[in-house]
């Protein structure tokens, strides 16, 4: 069974640009969550999606957005990039929402903003 797939693995962008990251969950999983990991803050929850709807959102500015498609694949977008957005962005996949199920992570997308 394939795991969570995130693309691309690495990105280098310039301040002010925008970026789109992609996440394909484990087959059959319908919930996708996104996290930002930095050395200073650790893993911080960005948002989660279930049935193409955003169900919960973390404390991040509106420049961070996302969506989920009917096949459960998800994308997140960051507009007007800032140097502080440099981080490892992780996607987690779960079978369902709000139940006792595990969350499995992808390998992440390493975003560097210069």
Partner 1 sequence: EDQVTQSPEALRLQEGESSSLNCSYTVSGLRGLFWYRQDPGKGPEFLFTLYSAGEEKEKERLKATLTKKESFLHITAPKPEDSATYLCAVQAYGGATNKLIFGTGTLLAVQP
Q: Is 60 in the site for partner 1 (CB under 8 A)?
A: no
The CA distances from residue 97 to 18, 38, 82, 104, in Å, are 29, 26, 32, 13
Indicate which single residue of 2, 70, 102, 114 sits in contact with partner 1 (rule: CB under 8 A): 102
Cα–Cα distance for residue pair 38/27, rounded to 1 Å: 28
Span of 13-21, 29-37, 59-67, 78-86 interacting with partner 1 by CB under 8 A: 29-37
In contact, 32 and 23? CB cutoff 8 Å: yes
What are the φ/ψ torsions at residue 12 (nearest 5 degrees)? -125, 125
Q: Is 21 in the site for partner 1 (CB under 8 A)?
A: no
Task: Please give the DSSP secondary-structure letter assigned to residue 59.
Answer: S
| Residue 98 beta carbon to partner 1: minimum distance, rounded to whole angstroms | 3
Q: Is 106 in the site for partner 1 (CB under 8 A)?
A: yes
Q: Is 66 in the site for partner 1 (CB under 8 A)?
A: no
Chain residues in the site for partner 1 (CB under 8 A): 4, 6, 31, 33, 35, 42-45, 48, 50, 55-56, 58, 90, 92, 94, 97-98, 100-108, 110
């Amino acid at each position: 069974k394939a795991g969570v797939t995130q693309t691309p693995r690495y990105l280098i962008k310039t301040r002010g640009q925008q970026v789109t990251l992609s996440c394909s969950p484990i087959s059959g999983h319908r919930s996708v969550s996104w996290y930002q990991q930095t050395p200073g803050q650790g893993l911080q929850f960005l948002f989660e999606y279930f049935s193409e709807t955003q169900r919960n959102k973390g404390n991040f500015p509106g420049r961070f957005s996302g969506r989920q498609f009917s096949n459960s694949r998800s994308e997140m977008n960051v507009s007007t990039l800032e140097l502080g957005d440099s981080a490892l962005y992780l996607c987690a996949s779960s079978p369902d929402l709000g139940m006792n199920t595990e969350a499995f992570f992808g390998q992440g997308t390493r975003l560097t903003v210069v």
